[in-house]
Structure 1
Amino acid sequence: MMDNFLTTDTFRKGVSRYLKHFQYSIAEQDDLWRFLTEAAREDKTLDEDLTVKEIMDSWTLKMGYPVVTVSRDEETGETTLTQERFLLSEDNETEADGIDYKWHIPVSYVVQSNADFSATQPRLWIRQNEKSKNIGVISEKSEWVILNVQQTGYYRVNYDSRTWELLEKQLLEDHTKIHRVNRAQILDDAFNLAKAGILNYSVPLGLIRYLSKEKSNSPWVAAIRNLGYIDTMLRKTPAYEHYRRFIRSLVDPHMSEVRFERIEQVTGEYDDISKVSWNLNLLSLACQMGHEQCLKSASREFEFFMAKYNESEPDEPLLSPNTKSIVFCNGIKKGGETAFNFAYAHMLRTNIPQERSMLLSKLACTEESWLLSKYLGMLFDNTSGIRLQDFSHVFSAVAYNDVGIYLAFDMLVNKFDEIKQRFMGNDFGLTSLIMPFGDHFNSKFYLDQMKSFERINRDNLGAASRETATTIAKISSNIQVVDAHYDFLAHWFKNAGSVLSTE
């Protein structure tokens, strides 16, 4: 952020002088701020009444970050910017600690009629002593406006309902008019604002409808990351069927352009890392959502690997490493005991650490509960070939399986003393075992179970007690989200599926 509001040249000048001056002595944070301010004064890249110290102290000396709300008066067209601390949970008290949660915020923006997304430097500042700032008329009322160009500032942006509608319209009509970084930012901000209860979920869900045309990776990453939470909350409900159908409708138009590859088929087409990631993310999501073409292709590639596999040369390259993990997960998921045993044997034979790690994770993709129980049991078998340092990796992989999460929790509760003994005081390892349950559980029954686990083992949790408390808070928050949003989400996805099927 400093690099942007000072400009790269000024930032480098200040840092270079700072490093040279203190190369043989001790410096403090304020010394860096002083040298950066001096460079900014020389280059005239910072308002005269601001210093880098004033700006950065407003960020580094308090927790969190702000959300800036853009409100445009429908009659006058004047724009007002309002800052407040962004909190995902209403349980957090903004002012309880006596800190004034306001910042010096660099504001860059573009308007529809002059959408220059290369202009990332701030046009104005919201000062730390300003709750709101009227910046006059910056665009026609019929035009969209986007703050935080290319997301160079560390803050979220909320808009009035009319502007959200204009942004959705633009994305659906021609998303390329908005820079890909800002497309990702718009989706990420909208989902997080909805999760925080600031926006209705109709806003982010309406926005992502354009993804059926999106071929850049970063907006998909933002969408997939945020949809993961909704996916988890709906997975055990009747609404999941409609949710999956809607997501498949977004992925389906791209399926002719993404593919699994065998080594002999690898071309230079996917040399671009963003293209590789886009291909991987789309295939992973498509298979997860039960897209028939994706599942058939993954199964075919897994069968090919099994047929060509040579036990004496287990690391002979057969499949592209870019999509191999998806192939193995889906092959193991649908392949039952045969596929599980094959992958497990390959895990023992491979000499490639990354391959072994991938297999330890993907073995947990099986849908067979008895195989998952067997896999968890191997963690306590010194002859299984699973090392002690792999305990957390395997346990977490099973815990993120829809069936395995309940098996993993039962093991944590019933074998906690034995698990703790195996970790021999490594509380970090224990912490990683507890983490998955906060991501998945969303019922009062399991909230009570986790509270009971914490109460019984309070004296033995050590450093993991903090993660246990965090997990309990997460489960409680998940319950609140489901209670508050389930009916709307179920209705929205059901209707979205109907609309898409008639387009």
Structure 2
Amino acid sequence: MSTWDSFPGYPVVNVSRNYYDGSIILSQESFGNSNVDHLWYIPINFVEGTSTLTTPQMWLKEKSVIFYPNASINCILVNNQQTGYYRVNYDIRIWRSLTRRLTNNRLDVHVSNRAQLLDDAFELAHFNYIPYDIPLGLSLYLRREVESLPFLAFFNNIEKVKLYLESLGKEEMFKNYIKNLLEDLYRSLGFEETELDEYLNKHSRISIITWACNLNLFNCRDQALKAVRSWLSNGTKIAINLEVPIMCGAMQLAPVDDWKMLYAKYESIPDGERKWKLLTGLGCTSHKMFLEKILDLIFMKSSGVSVADKKIALMRILQIDQTRVEMIFKYFIRHVSSTNEIYQELRVADVLCKYITSQQQLELLNMVSLSQLFQLSRLEEVSPSVRLLRVNIHGVHFSSA
């Protein structure tokens, strides 16, 4: 166990097949850092189909091993039901085979493995292990998915997909992709919580309302505005879990009078959880003057909202679209010298670098000193921030295979 509790991070197991003799080659490396030579003792199990086998069939202790599986195994799946703490990367041919399998009959693969495949594929693409068309193609099977767990794995990665496609100027492609995958789920889950909702369904609804409203799909903004108006005028409750996505969706569409009514509500309530939710919702406005008013509150030392909640609010607003990203960048540039203390508390370099997807946006930041900007973040976060800048701006490579 010393290799697990002594080394930082975790491994990725690479799986490739010799298509001449049927052998499988397994190799290991530190995920996201191939220059590190740590070796883990990794429990390996491999299955085909919906087998419940989760006990190790072998241990990967060396850098790489070769073994010969049962000849009947055509489409191998490693780390059944995520019993081991590692990611799995397959050769392109195996990834294609797994994609066909999910597309043809998702029930041939255990639901936990379906979620695992999605999460691994998106993370591997994000770190340039595989081309991004692998997870994009794999995820198309979700049109026929009915379980929440794979959708939650998808939602955990959806923002990375958005940023990558935006870096390629493919915003409309992203919108159509999400519409294609999520329309049936949006209709089946509905816009309101029910007493019969399972835990995973509640979390799926939060994500799907968030993205449907962000992308102006499925009449989401109209439904959200109707719910907020009913709450403000009649006291009709909005489920606690849905307050942020519904208020944010509503304010993306709201006329001036509705925004002002919600702002009056914000000013009238005491400090606490709902106050930061209202601040977040108000910041989702498309009106520049109102957005700047909310940014003033976010960067004010005493606004009745904690620094942690302000950071959540800021990132939620940035998540919507590139128009708001650029509005907020320009606000930062104008105020960077006057609000250093709160910038440091918000670790603003990390926030900015996550959402920069174009050379033009980077040039906006060049209006201030990058070294000054990074001083506003913790020293140990500078390197990850720079990596995010490089990854986002360079975009993603699509395979032609």
Distance 1:294 1:419, change over 3 A: same
CA contact (8 A) 1:109 1:146 kept: yes
Q: What residue is the counterpart of 1:71 in the other structure? A: 16
Partners of 1:171 and 1:203 in 2: how far apart? 13
Give the drift of 1:398.
4.4
Inter-CA distance 187–297: structure 2 relative to 1 (3 Å threshold) = same
* Cα distance in 1 between the residues matched to 2:306 and 2:112: 41
CA distance in 1, matches of 2:26, 2:58: 11
**Greater relative CO, 1 or 2 (CA 8 Å, sep 6+):** 2
* Alpha carbons of structure 1 residues 322 and 375: separation in structure 2 relative to 1, 3 Å: closer
Q: Which moved more, 1:277-286 or 1:207-216?
A: 277-286
Rounded to whole Å, the distance in 1 between the matches of 2:64 and 2:384 is: 34
Separation of aligned partners in 2, 1:64 and 1:380: 34
The correspondence for 1:366, drawn from 262, 270, 285, is: 285
- For residues 194-205 of structure 1, the aligned pairs below 5 Å read 194-205=125-136
Q: Distance in 2 between matches of 1:195 and 1:340?
A: 37
Counterparts of 1:300-311 in structure 2 under 5 Å?
A: 300-309=226-235
Q: Give 1:445 shift.
A: 4.1
Deviations along 1:436-473, one digit per CA (max 9) or x if unpaired, are 21111123344355464233467xx3763443454233
Gap regions ≥5 residues in structure 1: 1-55, 310-316, 493-503
Q: Counterpart of 2:156 in 1: which secondary structure?
A: helix
> Structure 1 residues 178, 335: closer, same or farther in 2, change over 3 A?
same
1:181 maps onto 2:112 in alignment? yes
Q: Which residue of 2 aligns with 1:111?
A: 48
Q: Is the 8 A contact 2:276 2:310 kept in 1?
A: no
Which of the numbers 370, 375, 379 marks the counterpart of 2:294? Answer: 375
Which structure 2 residue ranges, 5 or more long, are not aligned?
none
Q: How many residues align?
A: 398
Which amino acid is the alignment partner of residue 125 of structure 1? W
Query: 1:105, CA displacement in angstroms?
Result: 0.8
1:472 corresponds, among 386, 390, 393, to 386
Matched, 1:357 2:276: yes
Distance change (3 Å), C-alpha of 1:68 and 1:456: closer
- The 5 A counterparts of 1:15-414 are 56-87=1-32, 94-95=35-36, 100-112=37-49, 115-117=50-52, 119-127=53-61, 130-140=62-72, 143-235=74-166, 238-261=169-192, 267-270=194-197, 272-309=198-235, 318-351=237-270, 353-379=272-298, 386-387=304-305, 389=307, 392=311, 394-401=313-320, 402-414=322-334
Shift of residue 380 of structure 1?
A: 6.4
How far the C-alpha of 1:208 sits from its partner, in A, is 0.6
State how far apart, in whole Å, the 1-side matches of 2:384 and 2:92 are.
34
For the Cα contact (< 8 Å) 2:220–2:249, is it kept in 1? Answer: no
Counterpart for residue 362 of structure 2: 447
Residue aligned with 1:198, SS: coil
Displacement of 1:180 in angstroms is 1.9
Deviation of 1:411 after TM superposition, in Å, equals 3.6
- The answer as to whether partners of 2:292 and 2:331 remain within 8 angstroms in 1 is no
User: Contact 1:395–1:408 at 8 Å: present in 2 too?
Assistant: no
Q: Secondary structure at the match of 1:257?
A: helix
Question: Aligned pair in 2 of structure 1 residues 352, 167: CA closer, same or farther (>3 Å)?
Answer: farther
Supply the AA of the counterpart residue of 2:323: V
> Is residue 72–residue 79 contact of structure 1 (8 Å, CA) maintained in 2?
yes
TM-score, length basis structure 2: 0.87
- C-alpha distance in structure 2 between counterparts of 1:392 and 1:228, whole Å: 17
The 1:192/1:400 distance shift into structure 2, 3 A limit, reads closer
Do the aligned residues in 2 keep the contact of 1:187 with 1:208 (CA within 8 Å)?
yes
Change (3 A) 1:334 1:434: same
Any conservation in 1 of the 2:276–2:313 contact (CA below 8 Å)? no
Task: Give the percent of matched residue pairs that are identical in Structure 1 and Structure 2.
Answer: 25
The 1:235–1:343 alpha-carbon spacing in structure 2 relative to 1, beyond 3 Å, is farther
SS of 1:68 mapped into structure 2: strand
- The secondary structure found in structure 1 opposite 2:255 is helix
Question: For the Cα contact (< 8 Å) 1:94–1:101, is it kept in 2?
Answer: no
Question: For residues 93 and 134 of structure 1, what CA distance do their matches in structure 2 show?
Answer: 20
User: C-alpha distance in 1, partners of 2:123/2:299?
Assistant: 40
Shift of 1:345: 1.8
TM-score (norm 1): 0.71
SS in 1 for 2:24: strand
Change (3 A) 1:246 1:391: closer
Instruction: Supply the AA of the counterpart residue of 2:67.
Output: I
Q: CA RMSD in A?
A: 3.0
Counterpart position of 2:349: 434
Give the number of the structure whose alpha-carbon radius of gyration is greater.
1
Aligned CA distance change for structure 1 residues 356 and 207 (closer, same or farther; 3 Å): same
